[in-house]
Structure 1
Amino acid sequence: MAAKPCIPKGTRDFSPTEMAKRNYIFDTIRSVYHLYGFQQIETPAMEMLSTLMGKYGEEGDKLLFKIQNSGDYFSGLTDEELLSRNATRLACKFCEKGLRYDLTVPFARYVVMHRDELTFPFKRYQIQPVWRADRPQKGRYREFYQCDADVVGSDSLLNEVELMQIVDTVFSRFGIRVCIKINNRKILTGMAEIIGEADKIVDITVAIDKLDKIGLDNVNAELRDKGISEEAIAKLQPIILLNGTNTDKLATLRQVLATSETGLKGVEETAFILNTLESLGLKNEVELDLTLARGLNYYTGAIFEVKALDVQIGSITGGGRYDNLTGVFGMPGLSGVGISFGADRIFDVLNQLDLYPKEAVKGTQLLFINFGEQEAAFSMQVLSKVRAAGIRAELYPDCCKMKKQMSYANAKKVPYVALVGDNELSEGKVTLKDMNTGEQHLLTPEEVITALTR
């Protein structure tokens, strides 16, 4: 007995209706990117592991899907190495490639490889799938699409402002109410300095980034496990739990971080972004959130995260400033900033809130019933005309019982059916049936087009 087919955990099939909805998401994001002057690129699904490893921190490296070398990948391995059963070391021996974890590191590699072809600042967007060997759960998948936009070759904070305008515009078009959360890695560095744990900045940011997922007590426990002193943890509490307006928070931070040059620089950068956005009148809420850390190690300045207000789900957009990501590929000093829309989570949010417009699912508008060879030949001629007018139409391919053909129309929710029999053939016309009302009218091909495009 053949095994029942299945797909890997954390992946999904998408039906034609679901694909129409997903394309609505991609097209909406793409159209906004174009408004702001971004150009599209694509990179391979797999990259060299040397490109990916070490760019996402220790936790990120563990989530990389590695691709086994073809051929005899055991050649060159000693018996001692095989018997050691050291999975990490063995994987490095017979896996040279991996599936991309995100689109940012491949983009940095792209910039370095194509530097002589690019005009800086370079504004690119990319809509492609990424893969993470994460534990599948609600709103978290192993294969998912990201919709990235990045600007490289400019230090201006106006880039951060424009990216937040893009976020606001996209979610306004979707009809999703969101909160745009902003922080700065320099502020987090300043926090680590003033509590006397500057060398533990990575451990601190990884821990506090989990605050909304695991709670304050578990965050503090993780900080203790990383060797951070009780005194330092105590000093950290009022900072990460700071509340009030954005202006209030900035004023407090200027006092708290007064002895940290790096921290104060982060405060001023954040103040510029928040003040500029306020003057532009965004439709969605913008909040300075000091618990926002973004776990990825390459962020060096402003960091962003977007949460849906009406659905319980994780971040649906994120990003930030990275000052020297291309440096690891031999091109130091090139600053960049970017955002990434999580298309799969946005898909789930739009489904839960039922926010897809009816026109997003672009199904067949007109189905020609097949009554025989002559009727089909005439229908094909009319089809050419209605398709040229932009009407989505098809002819049922087989001459079979009308009931079966009408059931097909109903299953696909086709709003209009065209009937071509002996009478219609003799007059060169079509009987157009409205599937919702049942009304029928004998029309010329031109009148059919008018009826369906008005």
Structure 2
Amino acid sequence: MEKPTLPKGTRDFGPAVMAKRQFIFDNIRKVFQKYGFQPLETPAMENLSTLTGKYGEEGDQLLFKILNSGDFLKDIDSQKLEARNSRQVASDISEKGLRYDLTVPFARYVVMNRNEVSFPFKRYQIQPVWRADRPQKGRYREFYQCDADVVGTESLICEAEIILMIKEVFKGLRIQDYSIKINHRGILSGIAEHIKATNETSLFVAIDKLDKIGEEGVKNELREKGFDEKSLTALFNILSVKGSITNKIAFLAAHLDTTQQGMKGLRDLREVFNILKSYGATTDQVDFDIALARGLSYYTGCIFEVKINNVGIGSVSGGGRYDNLTKAFGDKENLSGVGFSFGVDRIYDAMEELQLFAKDAHASSKILLCHFDDESFHYSLGILTKLREAGIAAEIYPDQAKLKKQLDFANKKGIPYTIVVGSEEVKSGILPFKDMVKGEQEKLAIDQIIQKIA
């Protein structure tokens, strides 16, 4: 019989891994709720008409399509089948797809439920998404996103609070060395106008790869798209500017002063930083990255990307403002929205690489009750009840077994404390309480043990 396998780009998560992942989820969820976001879930599958055209051409190619139920080839034109062109056949045999991200389903939800939703609507969503990408380190075909979005307001306080939430989540995860990159699509459009670029999309896609393929790689890609040397020189005169956020804004203001979108982008960024100042927050770890473009085509305002430094992993968070997404679903009153997402899988990999998880992160129980015989087993059940009533995670070894086997079980499971109950303990009520990490043991009454652990 063939051994079972997993599809490439997917993974199982055992208890030890899940405990660490849950630590990440809990920290993110706590911050989202602290900032007033409400939970939401949407189906794993959406109609392809909902998904296509929202992520750009590259994104559309990465959608996982679901075959129609039943005999999906029955009514297909034979000429289409003979042509062997999958794109021509796809729309006839597949009407649904797995969600690519959580933002588009959220926009669809808002449009469908706008009469029940109170605006501004703040929601968070923690669910898996799927992309038909080539699996590699830090890139999976199934992975979790943790999204927070606000829709129904153009206030830039939302952008400022995204930065605050990112900082707070990373503080809770004990991640100290990271960079929050911020830019504005208006600034990019202003740059495109300044260098007289006729194809904005090609320009944005190319410069977004600057940190991966370098200046010459970006220039070559743009040359192939018809950009001349004069435009490329003007482009890199802007992209190569260094210095503080203030210096970069001043430099761009001097070069983009004739571009309406560019100047609006700069005004928005200034306001975001002013709001942060009013909060009493610093711009430490915030970088105004002029080359940041973000691949998704629905962004229209501020855009964000977060990287953890000194790890071989790409961005772990990203997002931005989108002013036209609900309009894509026929919404008469266009709603402005802004949001961002944490990639839990990449954060997990980075924290493992940096050894940031607590050593006892995988422990499910605080204490294990061990016993010698039937009498001590039944006596231990009363002790177990008291521990659990005190809110202490506890369990009892379920079978009659040698003490060594029971203690080995505690070690393998990472349970930090044990209580061993025998006939003497049944009579006296004084219990041997052992710290499995330090190897130290003392005899205490159950109330003293509860107080010590608590």
TM bucket normalised to smaller? over 0.9
Q: What's 2:34 paired with?
A: 35
Is the CA contact 2:363–2:413 (under 8 Å) kept in the aligned structure 1? Answer: no
1:302-321 to 2 correspondences below 5 Å:
302-321=302-321
Partners of 1:259 and 1:437 lie apart in 2 by 69
Is the CA contact 2:371–2:422 (under 8 Å) kept in the aligned structure 1? Answer: no
Give 1:253 shift.
1.0
Q: What's 1:191 paired with?
A: 191
What SS does structure 2 have at the residue aligned with 1:117? coil
Is the CA contact 2:39–2:124 (under 8 Å) kept in the aligned structure 1? Answer: yes
1:104-119 to 2 correspondences below 5 Å:
104-119=103-118
Give 1:37 shift.
0.7
For residues 225-249 of structure 1, give each alpha carbon's deviation from its aligned partner in whole angstroms, at most 9, with x where no partner exists. 2233333223212112222211111
Which deviates further from its counterpart, 370-379 or 13-22?
370-379
Partners of 2:109 and 2:421 lie apart in 1 by 56
1:233-272 to 2 correspondences below 5 Å:
233-272=232-271
- Seen in structure 2, the aligned counterparts of structure 1 residues 251 and 283 have a Cα distance that, compared at 3 Å, is closer
What SS does structure 2 have at the residue aligned with 1:368? strand
Letter in 1 for 2:284: N
What SS does structure 2 have at the residue aligned with 1:262? helix
Q: What's 2:352 paired with?
A: 351
1:1-400 to 2 correspondences below 5 Å:
2-176=1-175, 177-197=177-197, 199-279=198-278, 280-282=280-282, 284-331=284-331, 332-358=333-359, 360-400=361-401
Letter in 1 for 2:162: L
For residues 260-313 of structure 1, give each alpha carbon's deviation from its aligned partner in whole angstroms, at most 9, with x where no partner exists. 111111111112112333453337321111110001000001101111123232
Is the CA contact 2:182–2:302 (under 8 Å) kept in the aligned structure 1? Answer: yes
When the two structures are superposed, what TM-score results if normalisation uses the length of structure 1? 0.95
Is the CA contact 1:178–1:284 (under 8 Å) kept in the aligned structure 2? Answer: no
- Seen in structure 2, the aligned counterparts of structure 1 residues 298 and 21 have a Cα distance that, compared at 3 Å, is same
Letter in 2 for 1:182: I
Partners of 1:283 and 1:411 lie apart in 2 by 44
Give 1:364 shift.
1.8
- Seen in structure 2, the aligned counterparts of structure 1 residues 223 and 80 have a Cα distance that, compared at 3 Å, is same
- Seen in structure 2, the aligned counterparts of structure 1 residues 78 and 298 have a Cα distance that, compared at 3 Å, is same
Is the CA contact 2:100–2:131 (under 8 Å) kept in the aligned structure 1? Answer: yes
Partners of 1:262 and 1:436 lie apart in 2 by 61
Partners of 2:365 and 2:168 lie apart in 1 by 30
For residues 161-205 of structure 1, give each alpha carbon's deviation from its aligned partner in whole angstroms, at most 9, with x where no partner exists. 1111111111122222211111100111111112222x4111111
Letter in 1 for 2:26: D
Q: How many residues get paired?
A: 451
Letter in 1 for 2:436: M
Letter in 1 for 2:90: A
Partners of 2:242 and 2:2 lie apart in 1 by 56
- Seen in structure 2, the aligned counterparts of structure 1 residues 275 and 439 have a Cα distance that, compared at 3 Å, is closer
Q: What percent identity do the matched residue pairs reach?
A: 53
Which deviates further from its counterpart, 431-440 or 127-136?
431-440
For residues 59-94 of structure 1, give each alpha carbon's deviation from its aligned partner in whole angstroms, at most 9, with x where no partner exists. 000011111112100021011111111111212211
What SS does structure 2 have at the residue aligned with 1:357? coil
Q: For structure 2, which runs of at least 5 residues remain unmatched after alignment?
A: none
Letter in 1 for 2:413: K
Partners of 1:340 and 1:221 lie apart in 2 by 32
Which deviates further from its counterpart, 317-326 or 165-174?
165-174
Letter in 2 for 1:317: S
Partners of 1:282 and 1:348 lie apart in 2 by 28
- Seen in structure 2, the aligned counterparts of structure 1 residues 437 and 220 have a Cα distance that, compared at 3 Å, is closer
- Seen in structure 2, the aligned counterparts of structure 1 residues 148 and 417 have a Cα distance that, compared at 3 Å, is same
Q: For structure 1, which runs of at least 5 residues remain unmatched after alignment?
A: none
Is the CA contact 2:37–2:122 (under 8 Å) kept in the aligned structure 1? Answer: yes
Q: What's 1:406 paired with?
A: 407
